[in-house]
Amino acid sequence: MKLRYTADINSYKRMTNAELKQAFVVDDLFAPGETVLTYTDVDRAIVGSAVPQDKPLGLPQSKELGSDYFCERREVGIVNIGGAGTIEVDGTSYKMQYKDSLYIARESKDISFSSVNPSEPAQYYIVSYPAHRTTQTTHVSKADAHHIELGSAIESNDRVINQSIRPGIVDSCQLVMGFTELEPGSVWNTKPPHTHRRRSEIYMYFEYNDDNRVFHFMGEPSETRSLVLAAGTAVISPAWSIHSGAGTTNYTFIWAMGGENQTFDDMDHIPISDIS
C-alpha cells in the first residue's frame, strides 16, 4: 500500500507541475501480474488496480487499514477495462466483461481476481471507501447501468454517463461509481465545471492513445491549475476543488465519489465566465 498526502486549499496555488502531480495524480496503475493500491488522505479513499495473468490476485491486508482483512470496514467498486475475467467473492464468482462493474460489500473476506486469457488480461480498476454498514455484493453489466445522454456536439461535450454503482441499482454505503464516454469530436468531460463539497471524487482517464492527453483542471474557480494526463492515470479531487477536463481527442473516464450525499445531481455548477 502506497500513501498519498494531498495539498490543501492554500498550498496548491504555490506548487510546481511536478509537485501537483505528486500530490494528486496516481500514474502507476495497471502493472501486469500485480495488485497496486494507493491510500490517500482525501476521505481515506484507496485507488488501485489488479491485472491478473497466469495466477489470481487478491486485495492484500495492510497496516494502514487497521483491520484483519481489506473489506472488514470497507466497500469496493471495480470496473474492468481489459479482457474478460472473473472476480470471486467469498465463494461466488462474477464474470467480468469489458466495462462491467462489481460492488463488493463490507465484510467480504476472500476476494480473488483472475483473467480468462492471460495474454489478454482483465484490467480491474479499483476504488474503495470506508463503509459503516454491511450491504450486498452486486454485479452490474454495462447494459444494466443507468445511462444518461448529456451535452452536444456543438459544445464539444456530447457524452453518455453510465451510472453503475448508484442508489436504485446498488445499495452501497457512500460509494457512487460509473463511467462517462465522450463521442468522437467531443473533448469536455463536464461542462460547466462543478464542485460538490459534500463528497470527494476520483477520476481515471482511458481509451485514448499515447499521442494524446487530457488536461484535467483543478483548484478553486479563481485559482485553477491543469494536470496533463496520459491514459490509465487517476487524479484525486478534494471536495474544495473543481473537476473538469478537456482532451486532445475523445476519451472515457471512470468517476468514483464518496461522502455525505449519494445523489448524482448534487453538485454546484460554476459558470465558465467565473473560471480563471
All three cell numbers of 8: 490543501
> Is residue 201 annotated as involved in ligand binding?
yes
Say if residue 34 carries a ligand binding annotation: no
CA distances from 52 to 28, 32, 225 (A): 16, 7, 36
Label the pairing between strands 74-80 and 92-96: unpaired
- Whole-angstrom Cα distance, residue 106 to residue 63? 18
Q: Which residues lie across from 115 on neighbouring strands?
A: 85
Mean local confidence (pLDDT), 197-220: 93
Q: What is the per-residue pLDDT across 164-191, written as a single tens digit (0 to 9) for each?
A: 999 999 999 999 999 999 999 999 998 8
Q: Which domains does the chain have, with CATH numbers?
A: 2-274 (2.60.120.10)
Confidence of residue 88 (pLDDT cuts 50, 70, 90): very high
pLDDT of 260 over the 80 cut: no
196 is in an annotated binding site: yes
pLDDT value of residue 261: 60
Average pLDDT, the chain: 94
pTM, to two decimals: 0.95
Instruction: Specify the pLDDT at position 262.
Output: 64
Q: How far apart are CA 204 and CA 96, in angstroms?
A: 19
How many CB atoms are closer than 10 A to CB 5? Answer: 10
90 φψ region: left (φ > 0), alpha (ψ -120 to 50), beta (else): left
Q: Would you say the C-alpha torsion 58, 27, 83, 33 has a positive or negative sign?
A: negative
| CA–CA distance, 256 with 102 (Å, rounded to integer) | 13
Residues 6+ apart with CB under 8 A from 220: 9, 240, 241, 242
